[in-house]
């Protein structure tokens, strides 16, 4: 007996199933009255031979063998879910690719889709040849192999990581998708050795105030980190989501400074020089400073402030009338997210979204808000609050203070415009 | 100036760095007195041309471009960290591959290394053609496309998943690595729609007691699930670690029954038949039942009991005298892990290990225990306790009750033998 015969669904037109849904139980935030989007959708796998109906092709013969992918990959049907790589770039040695946030669920970013930002390309490092040197204002300079580093006590934490230019102040008015706008942010579980453990081992001299971290890439990317952060939660990380760091994220070793702007989390870490004054390196002088309206520059703006974005529905998505779950991500470099508010009327009113547990320190927090769309054009927004009480600003409020000469540290609210057709687009356009 | 010149390390023999470590700060559980394992280790990247010393090859030229991997992969140097696939199997259509637990950190299993267990191979399902049918003792049978299912409210949770035969009662005495022994367990963040939401939508009839779940694989794998679980935390999952399910884990849709034995978490889910009595399918009669010493069989043994394993150091690893962090994983189908004890003297004494936060419901929990090995042969063990107060048994205690005719639900303590050479091996051998 076929499935259709068993269930009596065989003779029902698609319309009657819509009526079933229309009569559905009321859920938080609305009913499923208009849930079914496409009355003309395909019927269950059409039978094209003499096998019973509704037994799809893939049940009629054995599938692929166990272990046919010793290291597994996504389904070929998901080949479009890849890093968002800039088109027509002048070069890609110093460039970025973005995480496709609008296609992802939960808080963990799979390693294959973690965002990238490189200044001299991705080095191909032999971990057996890699060394970490700790020197400068220390009692006992140290040169460690990866095997030696792994002998120290380890920790694991789920932390977000975000590029400080996510997005640039002008870019926010150009991007189409959530990834275009804030896809230079990802979140995973990092494992490593606390930097404090190593600094205790080498012994800091009294005037040790900064640690200059250097990467083993062609750019020798160099950033100065305050000693307070190094003695707090800074991690020498060698793992992400259980496995070794990916080459794009600093294999075999990176600095992890929870909540600090991405480029300070030096990848391919080879050197920690303990000093009294910062290095004033290229990436903390001509780059990664914020030009203010009065011509001055904000420097050493370490923390990524509280931010949120609705990832679904978001730009280039299309929605139907009726129930739509609004969901997105919030995070703050200062600690835990304490609340996310959603507006479905362009900011006139705001209501609390539900935060998915666990809500972790300096990690992505997934929020959800049930919404029934009546089909009228509107704008939907989210704004995050963190444990310091800081509230994510609108772009207008942010630029009142910061002006438009700035590039980094734009944590403004992102509005998504909903057209009467259901098409979703960047509300700044 | 080279790094060596800068630091004064250039003329120090490797031995003096060992002495530095030997003088190191005392840490929890021991000093680093014997930390450095290999005095003959390679010096930092030897210079083979006229470039300055200690500037490795990968700093002398730009690395690979951004986006050179639209979907990223591990470093080629990690090509050995793959699923543990049985060698010389008779066939692989119905077989399993294991997660390489001894090579992983933290609690998240990367999707590419999630364990596999298939009964009819891995189907290649077109999600646009896939349907979920809910029928039987319901008021309004329902046939859902994936797009329709995604319109319902969603949830995300980090849960472990474990095959009930992990390991078989005889296998525990054969395996060499942590993966050989308990690698049919993985943990990730799942996103989906709560099954209760859909059952509320279709309306259960009064005599609805079980839900028979069927997969769209060539085995049409079928299991009966008590209605209580279906109305509790059961999830219709379409995402793992942020991205869509992998084909090996049920793409595009699987049933997720937190804490229940793996095969009940039906992959490639196409049908939920609400019934009054269980189906007594092949996988709950001739398979996945436990033969007891008196000839009877335990049936419907849903829950995976509390278990732990030391993953580092573990079988085939080799350790050095001095400080060694003992770390591993613990989990329970009944809820949270409340404690893990470690013994480093073959069970004579036990001490509490540190549990890494967050400790989540029905998820892997990472534990750590600092240990200084004096070089004498010994056996190291871990045992988990869960929130019900249940304590993981020794294999001797387990088999006193269960005998040796059983195959499934072996959650015995795994001992690792440490030889005087530092070689680590299965303590049952």
- Strands A222-226 vs A210-215: parallel, antiparallel or unpaired: antiparallel
Return the minimum-mean-pLDDT range out of A26-40, A160-174, A369-383: A26-40
Question: Percentage of chain B surpassing pLDDT 70?
Answer: 88
Q: What is the mean pLDDT of chain B?
A: 89
pLDDT for B205: 98
Determine whether B260 is exposed, middle or buried from the number of CB atoms within 10 Å of its CB (0-12, 13-18, 19+).
Answer: buried
Question: Percentage of chain B surpassing pLDDT 90?
Answer: 83
Is the confidence at residue B328, as pLDDT, over 70? yes
Is the confidence at residue B244, as pLDDT, over 90? yes
pLDDT bucket at A53, cuts 50 / 70 / 90: low
Q: How far is A396 from chain B (nearest CA, A)?
A: 32
Query: Residues B143, A20: contact at Cβ < 8 Å?
Result: no
Is the confidence at residue A41, as pLDDT, over 50? no
- Contact partners, residue A307, CB within 8 Å, separation at least 6: A162, A182, A185, A330, A331, A332, A384, A392, A411
The closest alpha carbon to B134, from B52, B195, B92, belongs to: B195
Contacts of A188 in chain B (CB under 8 A): 108
Which of B18-32, B52-66, B388-402 has the largest mean confidence? B388-402
Is the confidence at residue A185, as pLDDT, over 80? yes
Is the confidence at residue A31, as pLDDT, over 60? no
Is the confidence at residue B4, as pLDDT, over 60? no
Is the confidence at residue B32, as pLDDT, over 80? no
Tens of pLDDT along A212-242? 999 999 999 999 999 999 999 999 999 999 9
pLDDT for B156: 98
Instruction: Outline where DSSP puts E strands in A23-177.
Output: 95-97, 116-118, 131-136, 142-145, 154-162
The predicted complex's ipTM stands at 0.90
pLDDT bucket at B22, cuts 50 / 70 / 90: very low
Query: Is B200's Cβ below 8 Å from some Cβ in A?
Result: yes
Token reading at A112:
């294959």
B242 contacts A113? CB cut-off 8 A: yes
Count Cα neighbours of B230 within 13 Å in the Cβ-side half-sphere. Answer: 22
pLDDT bucket at B53, cuts 50 / 70 / 90: low
Tens of pLDDT along A7-20? 333 333 333 333 33
pLDDT for B369: 98
Question: Percentage of chain A surpassing pLDDT 90?
Answer: 83
Count Cα neighbours of A263 within 13 Å in the Cβ-side half-sphere. Answer: 28
Q: What is the mean pLDDT of chain A?
A: 89
Query: Is A123's Cβ below 8 Å from some Cβ in B?
Result: yes
- Contact partners, residue A241, CB within 8 Å, separation at least 6: A108, A110, A111, A188, A189, B106, B108, B109, B110, B241
Nearest to B9 among A27, A143, A356 (CB): A143
pLDDT bucket at A171, cuts 50 / 70 / 90: confident
* B307/B309 Cα distance (integer angstroms): 7
Residues 168-197 of B with CB under 8 A from A: 188-191, 197
The closest alpha carbon to A290, from A191, A164, A188, belongs to: A164
Contacts of B92 in chain A (CB under 8 A): 65-68
Nearest to B107 among A112, A189, A322 (CB): A189
Q: How far is B397 from chain A (nearest CA, A)?
A: 32
Tens of pLDDT along A129-162? 999 999 999 999 999 999 999 999 999 999 999 9
pLDDT for B158: 98
pTM: predicted TM-score of the whole model, two decimal places: 0.90
Contacts of A66 in chain B (CB under 8 A): 85, 92-93, 95-97, 116-118, 121-122
Counted across chains A and B, CB pairs separated by less than 8 A come out at 419
pLDDT for B48: 45
B156 contacts A113? CB cut-off 8 A: no
Q: How far is B219 from chain A (nearest CA, A)?
A: 7
> Is A51 or B276 the better-scoring residue by pLDDT?
B276
Query: Is A251's Cβ below 8 Å from some Cβ in B?
Result: yes
Query: Is A105's Cβ below 8 Å from some Cβ in B?
Result: yes
Question: What number is the average pLDDT over the span A265-286?
Answer: 96
A156 contacts B366? CB cut-off 8 A: yes
Tens of pLDDT along A335-383? 999 999 999 999 999 999 999 999 999 999 999 999 999 999 999 999 9
The closest alpha carbon to B37, from A282, A151, A311, belongs to: A151
Tens of pLDDT along A377-419? 999 999 999 999 999 999 999 999 999 988 999 999 999 999 9
Is the confidence at residue A40, as pLDDT, over 70? no
Question: What number is the average pLDDT over the span B386-395?
Answer: 98
pLDDT for A88: 87
pLDDT for A46: 40
Question: What number is the average pLDDT over the span A198-222?
Answer: 97
B244 contacts A110? CB cut-off 8 A: no
* A245/A240 Cα distance (integer angstroms): 5
Q: What is the largest CA-CA distance in chain B?
A: 84
Nearest to A62 among B60, B121, B323 (CB): B121
Q: What are the respective helix, strand and coil percentages of chain B, to the nearest 5?
A: 15, 30, 55
Whether the CA torsion B259, B263, B267, B272 is positive or negative: it is: negative
Contacts of A98 in chain B (CB under 8 A): none
Cβ neighbours around A377 below 10 Å, total: 12
pLDDT for B42: 32
Return the minimum-mean-pLDDT range out of A198-202, B8-12, B217-221, B269-273: B8-12
Contacts of B368 in chain A (CB under 8 A): 153-154
Contacts of B7 in chain A (CB under 8 A): 133, 135, 141, 143
pLDDT for B173: 85
Q: How far is B330 from chain A (nearest CA, A)?
A: 15
Token reading at B142:
């329902």
Interface residue of A13, A63, A120 to substitute, partner B, most B CBs within 10 Å: A63
pLDDT for A194: 98
Interface residue of B65, B139, B311 to substitute, partner A, most A CBs within 10 Å: B65
pLDDT bucket at A34, cuts 50 / 70 / 90: very low
Is the confidence at residue B249, as pLDDT, over 90? yes
* A13/B112 Cα distance (integer angstroms): 41
pLDDT for B286: 87
Question: What number is the average pLDDT over the span A77-90?
Answer: 95
Contacts of A130 in chain B (CB under 8 A): 56
Question: What number is the average pLDDT over the span B135-152?
Answer: 97
Dihedral-angle region of residue A173 (phi above 0 means left; psi in -120 to 50 means alpha; beta otherwise) = alpha
Contacts of B96 in chain A (CB under 8 A): 66
Token reading at A410:
């734009």
Interface residue of B105, B115, B199, B233 to substitute, partner A, most A CBs within 10 Å: B105
Tens of pLDDT along B184-239? 999 999 999 999 999 999 999 999 999 999 999 999 999 999 999 999 999 999 99
């Amino acid at each position: 007996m076929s499935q259709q015969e068993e269930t009596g669904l065989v003779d029902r037109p698609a319309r009657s199933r819509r009526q079933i849904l229309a009569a559905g139980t009321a859920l938080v935030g609305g009913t499923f009255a208009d849930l079914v989007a496409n009355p003309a959708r395909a019927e269950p796998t059409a039978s094209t031979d003499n096998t019973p109906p509704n037994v799809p092709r893939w049940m009629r013969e054995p599938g692929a063998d166990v272990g046919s992918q010793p290291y597994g990959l996504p389904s070929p049907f998901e080949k479009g879910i890849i890093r968002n790589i800039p088109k027509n770039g002048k070069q890609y040695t110093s460039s970025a690719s973005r995480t496709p946030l609008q296609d992802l669920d939960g808080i963990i970013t799979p390693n294959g889709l973690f965002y990238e930002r490189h200044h001299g390309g991705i080095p191909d490092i032999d971990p057996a040849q890699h060394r970490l040197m700790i020197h400068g204002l220390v009692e006992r300079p140290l040169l460690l192999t990866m095997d030696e580093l792994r002998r120290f006590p380890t920790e694991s934490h789920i932390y977000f990581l975000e590029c400080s230019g996510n997005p640039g102040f002008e870019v926010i008015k150009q991007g189409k998708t959530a990834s275009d706008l804030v896809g230079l942010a990802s979140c995973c579980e990092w494992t490593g050795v606390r930097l404090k453990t190593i600094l205790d081992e080498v012994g800091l001299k009294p005037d040790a105030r900064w640690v200059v971290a250097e990467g083993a890439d062609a750019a020798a990317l160099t950033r100065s980190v305050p000693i307070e952060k190094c003695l707090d939660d800074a991690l020498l990380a060698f793992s992400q989501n259980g496995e070794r760091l990916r080459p794009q994220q600093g294999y075999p070793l990176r600095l992890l400074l929870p909540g600090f702007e991405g480029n300070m989390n030096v990848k391919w870490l080879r050197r920690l020089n303990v000093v009294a004054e910062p290095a004033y390196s290229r990436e903390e002088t001509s780059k990664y400073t914020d030009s203010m309206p009065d011509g001055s520059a904000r420097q050493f703006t370490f923390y990524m402030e509280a931010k949120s974005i609705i990832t679904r529905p978001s730009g280039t998505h299309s929605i139907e009338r009726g129930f739509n779950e609004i969901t997105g991500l919030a995070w703050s470099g200062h600690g835990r997210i304490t609340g996310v508010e959603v507006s479905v009327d362009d900011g006139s009113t705001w209501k609390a979204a539900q935060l998915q547990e666990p809500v972790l320190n300096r990690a992505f927090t997934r929020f959800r808000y049930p919404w029934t769309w009546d089909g009228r054009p509107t704008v939907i927004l989210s704004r995050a609050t963190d444990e310091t009480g800081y509230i994510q600003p609108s772009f207008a409020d942010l630029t009142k203070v910061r002006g438009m000469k700035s590039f980094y540290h734009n944590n403004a609210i992102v509005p998504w415009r909903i057209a009467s057709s259901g098409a979703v687009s960047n509300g700044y356009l």
